Copies of this chain bind each other. A is one copy, B any other.
Amino acid sequence: MDSIVQILKQNNLSVTDGRRKILSLFLNSNGALAHADIEKNTHSHFDRVTVYRTLQSFVDKGIIHTIPTSDNSIKYALCKDECGEGHHHDHHVHLVCTRCGNTFCLDNVVTPTVKLPREYTIQQVEVVVKGICKSCNNP
């Protein structure tokens, strides 16, 4: 059975064209994708609303995670850790390349620990590095 179908079924998502196509985009991309990238890559084959709902359900199920950015654009990337419904554990650093504009999960770079004064409680630490990516550095 197709690995894409497998992932969808494992997450109790019914298998539809849209979900198959969008999930395969993530599996075949090494960087993060924005909503607009998906619309472009699917040649607007799917309604915008469908794309929004698909992304939301993937996030809910722990298949993809969002990446914070300073401009107003949510980026999404595959979860590679053990994320599930309501359980996101993506403790890795993200890199936004200032040259090519792409965003990457650095799965091997673990989020550093942050110490806050006692009055605060930490729930999650997000680290986004702006810099130059691998392929822009070694062209």
* Protomer copies: 2
The proximity string for A residues 92-126 relative to B, scoring 1 for CB distances below 8 Å and 0 otherwise, is: 01010010000000101100111111011111111
A123 x B131 contact (CB < 8 A)? yes
Set of chain B residues within 8 Å of A119, measured between Cβ atoms: 134, 137-138
- Contact count band on A: 35 or more
Set of chain B residues within 8 Å of A70, measured between Cβ atoms: 66-68, 74, 126
| Interface presence of A127 (CB below 8 A) | yes
Q: In the docked arrangement, what's the CA distance between A95 and B122, Å?
A: 9
Give me the 8 closest cross-chain CB pairs, A-B, nearest first.
Answer: A121-B132, A112-B112, A68-B68, A119-B134, A124-B130, A123-B131, A68-B70, A122-B131
